Structure 1
Amino acid sequence: MTVTVEEKTRTNSKFKLVGPKEIGYNVKQVDVFLDRARAYFLNSNTADTPITSHDVRTASFEPARGGYNAQAVDAAMDRIEDEFVLREKELLIKADGEKAWMLKIGKTAAVLRGRLHRPDGERFRRPARRNAQSYSIEDVDLLCHELLTYIEDNGELSVDVVRRAVFSPAKGPAGYEESQVDAFLDRVVELMASIDTPADK
């Protein structure tokens, strides 16, 4: 359901707002999530439910007329995720040492490489339903080639390219199953954000 942002909110917003008749992100939902994330980040010993980099990466907000500009919010969420990833890295190294961190990265990379090395057209499942929405096999495989170069040959690829990846639509078995591709790319972003943390940039 699409809601409309109240005029009072428009004068006290944290992000740029789209026009009154345009669709953006629900202001209240964004503000509540960011306030909660900030509070937890500043005091991880709080009794509130822990927030992880994965929670930030997978957060979603309902559409709203006159809401927050989606690009502005997405960019902020990316920066927040990077900060959470960096802290998670520091906490793991402090608790278990640098070797534990490298082992975690190595295991994730090994799992991803296994799928990336599959032949073109065979990296992901095909939807069982003929009319199901799916992703262009060619588009997904092209990104997979870039990811393999990044992981194995230190290729240059920004995590934001993966975060913002868009694939041409396909129908049913003519494409890859969207949910499986999305889940895989979520792991890729996790790995890339862990390697290319703000401290390393």
Structure 2
Amino acid sequence: MNQDAAHPGEEAPSLFPRVADNEFGYDPAQVERFLQAARATYEGQQADDAVTSSVVRRTTFDPVRGGFEPREVDGALDRLEDVFAARERNAMVQEQGQERWIEGIAQVSGVLRARLHREPGERFRRPSRKNVPSYAIEDVDAMCDRLIDYFERDVPLSVDDVRRAVFGRAMGDEGYEENQVDAFLDRTIELMASID
């Protein structure tokens, strides 16, 4: 008999450790549903609403008391995203050939690098409204400088470093617009995951 199986009246073993009952973690039911959908996609059982590396990267879960430990879930999602990115890359190479895949990488890289080479303080737009949160310009520019070093000087930078980047807060046009920076970093992560 499987020792991990729950006895009648006992709770089934948890996928991830939980935070204390008075702390907030990720909603276990949402996490489990998402992982079931990801597994179904991976095993070829789900054609509609298929999970992709991009879907994994953008997935969020509601906070609930006593939920799953966020760092544990985030780490698992990072690994899952890498698996899906590698699979997508291999499928594209198989369908379109290595040369076409390299052309696509070069095209995306060129678009990203064009933005990276803008003047510091001018790389992203500023929010049009005064009282909305924005990202501290110097923090975002520092990450952009690291990305230039990665793309052009082969200075090591892991995709996890970009995934976990945290920027200080600013308000309104004192910072960069969060949505634009996030979209740029999403494309960057997608590129790095596909070539690493």
Q: TM-score, normalised on structure 1?
A: 0.90
* Preserved contact between residue 126 and residue 174 of structure 2 (Cα < 8 Å): yes
% identity of equivalent residues:
51
Which amino acid in structure 2 is aligned with residue 185 of structure 1? L
Change (3 A) 1:193 1:160: same
2:27 alignment partner in structure 1: 26
SS of residue paired to 1:135: strand
Task: State the match for 2:177 in structure 1.
Answer: 177
Structure 2 runs not aligned, ≥5 long: 1-8
Q: Which residue of 2 aligns with 1:109?
A: 109
Distance in 1, matches of 2:116 and 2:110, equals 10
- AA paired with 2:165? A
> How many equivalent residue pairs?
188
- Mapping for residues 124-143 of structure 1, pairs under 5 Å: 124-143=124-143
Letter paired with 1:117: H
- The alignment partner of 1:134 has SS state of strand
Give the counterpart letter for 2:126 in structure 1: R
CA distance 1:173–1:19, shift in 2 (3 Å): same
8 Å CA contact retained: 1:10, 1:17: no
* Structure 1: tracts of 5 or more residues without a match: 1-7, 197-201
Q: Counterpart of 1:83?
A: 83
1:40 equivalent in structure 2: 41
Q: In the alignment, which residue of structure 1 is the partner of 2:96? A: 96
The two structures, once aligned, show a CA RMSD in angstroms of 1.4
Deviation at 1:129? 1.2
SS in 2 for 1:86: helix
Q: Secondary structure at the match of 1:29?
A: helix
